[in-house]
Amino acid sequence: MRVELGDLSRSLAEERADLLTAMAAVVDSGWLVHGPQHAAFERELADLVGASHALGVASGTDALELALKATMPPGRSAVATVANAGGYTTTAALRAGLDVALVDIEPEALLIDPTDVARVLAERADVGVVVVTHLFGRAADVAAVRAVAAPHGVAVVEDCAQAIGARTATGPVGSLADAAAFSFYPTKNLGALGDGGAITTTRADVVEAVAALRQYGWGAKYEVTLPGGVNSRLDEIQAAVLRTRLPRLAAGNARRREIAATYSRAASPRLRVVASDGPEYVGHLGVVETAERAALTDHLDAAGIAWGIHYPVPDHRQPAWAARFSGVSLPRTEAAAERILTIPLHPELRPDEVERVGRALATF
Ligand SMILES: *Cc1c(COP(=O)(O)O)cnc(C)c1O
């Protein structure tokens, strides 16, 4: 039996009765969108991250798009972000009609490099928002990015899709900047039974803008007061599912952290487990870095362990975007894309599976 990168059927089987009960209650209630489950979930998510408000939307990419629209200062038209985070922010920015300025990463945790943010902001006066992605489950240094951005009048948005529940010295992710985006895609640490997303913020103007933008730009029913509106709602069934799962999040994150620690202890000197300790880390993806990736994938294949690459193609090398980013060079992002490898890390892994992965890392 292979050790898989993910296996949703395990948690679905375990939670089956609770999920069906929650969904049946929605059917019986007659509320299908923006009802009591949605309102209660927004409250619970805001409390979890320490923001004054949470607003449900249909996906994490929608959350990014609406957060960008709501925080972009007047007269600005570009977003600065990293190129190693799957392209979600670039997708959202382009859909919002905004340009993208790509920033390099630091070599340790492979997260946004505040020094390179400073370089980009000095070069480009059109940038109005920096998106900080808490990649692989690790909180990035939002305070350092804010310190660089503030003198330029630039807002900061967190992408928390991979790091719900991570905590920093100054508070949980989702409470550290002007706004934050969450995804509840089924494989995320808090997953729905389909798509879902949310925005958290403590800025009253952002709450008002997102509340309008997610429903056609309505300020009041049938009255369009904001341009750029979309239809992006988190439905009652998904909200009820998320409320059922929310109480299990902390234990799942703790288990993810524990598995990552096991891998770190086991790892051969020919690889390193990318920054994976402390409350700042919630183990969304188990990422290792090695100069000998082909040899490592052969070794894992032989041991029956699944692997992946998150992400193989940086944004500026994506076929559809390459022309837009011609001339962009991000040396650390490009080097990391050749060296990273994702190994199984999810709370449903059995102890014998964790041990097998650990042994494979040790014997490489
Ligand atoms: C999953 C993910 C998103 C997008 O979320 P969707 O719900 O799939 O739209 C955005 N950013 C990051 C870092 C993600 O991992």
pLDDT by residue (tens digit) across 272-316?
999 888 999 999 999 999 999 999 999 999 999 999 999 999 999
Helix H, strand E, coil C: the string for 268-335 is CCCCEECCCCCCCECCCCEEEECCCHHHHHHHHHHHCECCECCCCCCHHHCCCCCCCCCCCCCHHHHH
φ/ψ of 275, rounded to 5, equals -10, 110
pLDDT score of 275: 83
Is the Cβ atom of 195 under 6 angstroms away from ligand 1?
Answer: yes
Determine whether the shortest distance from the Cβ of 113 to ligand 1 is under 6 A. no
* pTM given for the model: 0.98
Ligand 1 center from residue 316 Cα (angstroms): 18
Helix 60-71 to helix 204-213 angle, to the nearest 10 degrees? 130
Q: What are 154-189's pLDDT values in tens digits? A: 999 999 999 999 999 999 999 999 999 999 999 999
Residue corresponding to tokens 């999920």 = 19
Average pLDDT over residues 123-131: 98
232 lines ligand 1 (CB under 6 A): no
3-state helix, strand, coil in the chain (%, to 5): 45, 20, 40
What's the mean pLDDT when you consider all of the chain? 97
Is it the case that residue 17 has pLDDT exceeding 90? yes
Q: Three-class SS of residue 97? A: coil
Instruction: Give yes or no for residue 101 having a pLDDT over 90.
Output: yes
Whether ligand 1 lies within 6 angstroms of the CB of 128 is answered as no
Torsion of CA 245, 246, 249, 251, to 10 degrees: -80
**Tens-place pLDDT, residues 197-235:** 999 999 999 999 999 999 999 999 999 999 999 999 999
What spacing in Å lies between the alpha carbon of 131 and ligand 1's midpoint? Answer: 13
Report whether pLDDT(260) > 90.
yes
Which amino acid, one-letter code, is at 52?
S
For position 276, what pLDDT does the model report? Answer: 83
Count of CB atoms within 10 A of residue 21's CB?
11
